[in-house]
Homo-oligomer: A and B are copies of this chain.
Amino acid sequence: MKIICPKDELHRAVQTVQKAVATKTPLPILTGIYLSASGSELQLQATDYEVGISCTIAATVEESGAVVLAGRYFQELVRRLPGETVEIASSLEDRTIKVSSQNSQFNLLSLPAEEFPVLKPVISDNVMKVQDAVLRDLIRKTVFACAADEARPVFTGGLLEMDGTEVRMVATNTHRLALKKGQLTAGNGTAKMIIPAKILNELARLLATDEPEEVSILWQKNQVGIVFDNVYIISRLIEGQFPDYNKVIPANYATTVKLNTDQFLDAVERVSLLARDGEYNVVKFNFKNNEVIISSNNPDIGKAREAVAAETNGNELEIAFNAKYVTDILKNIDSEELTLSLNTPLSPAGIKAAADDNYIYIITPVRTS
């Protein structure tokens, strides 16, 4: 193999596939980045068998072929290389790969390219298409609600649901649930799949480009392929039954409260300072006619009390929440005002942006004595 390509594009491609490079693995080949050159393209691939990412860039290919380089070193090296172009050439004599640019020359040992599990694209008629900004929003506004604990795998992923041209993403750890709806650019029929949170987070990061583009999502059995720009991602799907989230969303509320998002967030964050050390980070909310009193009490440190102006419709109510479950959603609400909806001190509450019915968050209260 022998190629010449622009350094900046190579760097971006390495960064794109980098997250799929395995770090702890008994298989050394998975710690490598696979480079394959043919025609006028260089393709980079990495996989840890859970997710695989490939990225293709234009290159001057003087000799086609494939090599595998140690991911960690190759990435650091490409980042620091001088000059505008990089030459990568394999040397048959000593099994090294020469990576050079200006006065820099590195001879990296090659991993056995024939051992690399080259990605097989998902072949399927099951496909939906969506704008990158819509998909990014679906992920960012829900994935934080996933469970970190691996005990129940279905809760460590986000449920992606297609229903005609509507798309929904749902995430829950059973104590709180986030649901975001959007529109597909192409969709047909219904489909459900649970994608690991780790891969969703990585996908949201890769979708954060300036130019709008369409993303194709293909699926087949326990695999999903995500295609956009010059990137191809293959991920396993999480098997298991995601609970019926519609049952979790209350049909009616006895009390609704309108609040300024930033004021409410700042106040909850301050009050939770003293609650953080406790096991459940419990903060009390006393909803009165025109204000909410937020308070916490930590016998070892002290007490906190905040008053925030509120517009309450319905019954006055005292209820306690894990403060983190409240601040997590407040940070994701873009609008100036939010609506908090309640029934009783022990039944689930809803939080949503005042003027957005496509984003719903449900939170279970904490029982206090």
A192 at the interface (CB under 8 A from B): no
CB within 8 A of A73: which of B82, B96, B273? B273
Question: Which A43-77 residues have C-beta < 8 A from chain B?
Answer: 70, 73, 76-77
Looking at the assembled complex, report how far the CB atom of A319 sits from the nearest CB atom of chain B, in whole angstroms.
20
* CA distance in complex: A131, B307 (Å): 47
State the oligomeric state as a number of copies.
2
Per-residue B-contact encoding for A267-283, CB less than 8 Å = 1, 0 else: 10110011000000000
A191 at the interface (CB under 8 A from B): no
A120 at the interface (CB under 8 A from B): no
Contacts of A307 in B (CB 8 A): 103
Question: Once the chains bind, are A302 and B109 in contact (CB under 8 Å)?
Answer: yes
Looking at the assembled complex, report how far the CB atom of A120 sits from the nearest CB atom of chain B, in whole angstroms.
30
A204 at the interface (CB under 8 A from B): no
Residues of A within 8 A of B (CB): 70, 73, 76-77, 80-82, 96, 103-109, 266-267, 269-270, 273-274, 300-308
Looking at the assembled complex, report how far the CB atom of A58 sits from the nearest CB atom of chain B, in whole angstroms.
25
* CA distance in complex: A302, B74 (Å): 11
Given A270-B80, A303-B96: A103 touches B308 (CB 8 Å cut-off):
yes
Question: Once the chains bind, are B302 and A82 in contact (CB under 8 Å)?
Answer: no
Among A104, A109, A305, chain B packs the most CB atoms within 10 A around the CB of A104
Further pairs besides A104-B304, A106-B274, A109-B302: 19, Cβ < 8 Å? A73-B274, A73-B301, A73-B302, A76-B273, A77-B270, A80-B269, A80-B270, A81-B270, A96-B302, A96-B303, A103-B267, A103-B307, A104-B270, A104-B306, A105-B305, A106-B270, A106-B302, A107-B303, A108-B302
Given A307-B103, A308-B103: A300 touches B109 (CB 8 Å cut-off):
yes
Question: Once the chains bind, are B302 and A267 in contact (CB under 8 Å)?
Answer: no
* CA distance in complex: A307, B307 (Å): 66
Question: Once the chains bind, are A267 and B104 in contact (CB under 8 Å)?
Answer: yes
A-B contact pairs, 26 of them (CB 8 A): A73-B273, A73-B274, A73-B301, A76-B273, A77-B273, A80-B266, A80-B269, A81-B270, A82-B266, A96-B303, A103-B267, A103-B307, A104-B267, A104-B270, A104-B304, A104-B305, A104-B306, A105-B304, A105-B306, A106-B274, A106-B303, A106-B304, A107-B302, A107-B304, A109-B300, A109-B302
* CA distance in complex: A304, B107 (Å): 6
Contacts of A302 in B (CB 8 A): 73, 96, 106-109
